[in-house]
Amino acid sequence: MKEINQDGRTRRRRHSAEFKAEAIKACLQPGVSTASVALQYRLNANMLRAWVTAYEGRSMPKPARELTSMPAAEFIPLRITSQPEVAALPDIVIEIRRDASTITIRWPHAAATDCAGWLNGWLR
């Protein structure tokens, strides 16, 4: 981040090791976003993220860093067994009243998408 000197020129700010350590420690708290800490400390979020990454790289021994690195994505085939029974779910019941007349429509839960399409068209 740049500051403006008295003569109107800009210069980069220098941050002490204590300041960096405090900002990094704030980022490492559970449930805290790097962006919110950056706003609080008036820092660029990308720069703060770089500080945290560098800190994490130094604080972990090499074998631990290798274990925490993201493995290459690979396809894992899954076997699908039997489908759960849909019949156990209750029917969809739509009751329409107009004056003294009542119409009740029962729709199987397995065809809920069809019911939604029918109801959408009917309500237009």
Q: Is residue 85 a part of any domain in this protein?
A: no
Does one domain contain both 63 and 103? Answer: no
Among candidates 38, 3, 45, which has minimal Cα distance to 22?
38
> Rounded distance, CA 84 to CA 107, Å?
19
Q: Is residue 78 a part of any domain in this protein?
A: no
Q: Is residue 48 a part of any domain in this protein?
A: yes
Does one domain contain both 98 and 58? Answer: no
Range of the domain at 100: 92-123
Task: Copy the structure tokens of residue 95.
Answer: 């009751």
> What average pLDDT does this structure show over 17-37?
89
Q: Is residue 75 a part of any domain in this protein?
A: no
Give me the pLDDT at residue 35, please.
93
Among candidates 124, 87, 94, which has minimal Cα distance to 109?
87
> Rounded distance, CA 34 to CA 24, Å?
9
Among candidates 27, 30, 16, which has minimal Cα distance to 56?
27
Average pLDDT over the chain reads 80
- In total, how many domains does the chain have? 2
Q: Is residue 6 a part of any domain in this protein?
A: no
Instruction: Choose one of 51, 67, 83: the last residue of a domain.
Output: 67
Q: Is the pLDDT of residue 86 over 70?
A: no
Q: Is residue 86 a part of any domain in this protein?
A: no
Q: Is residue 58 a part of any domain in this protein?
A: yes
Does one domain contain both 102 and 63? Answer: no
Give me the pLDDT at residue 103, please.
87
Q: Which residues contact residue 1 at a Cβ distance below 8 angstroms, ignoring those fewer than 6 apart? A: 12, 13, 42, 43, 44, 47
- The pTM assigned to this predicted structure is 0.42
Query: If 0-12 CB within 10 Å is exposed, 13-18 middle and 19+ buried, where does residue 48 land?
Result: buried
Give me the pLDDT at residue 116, please.
87
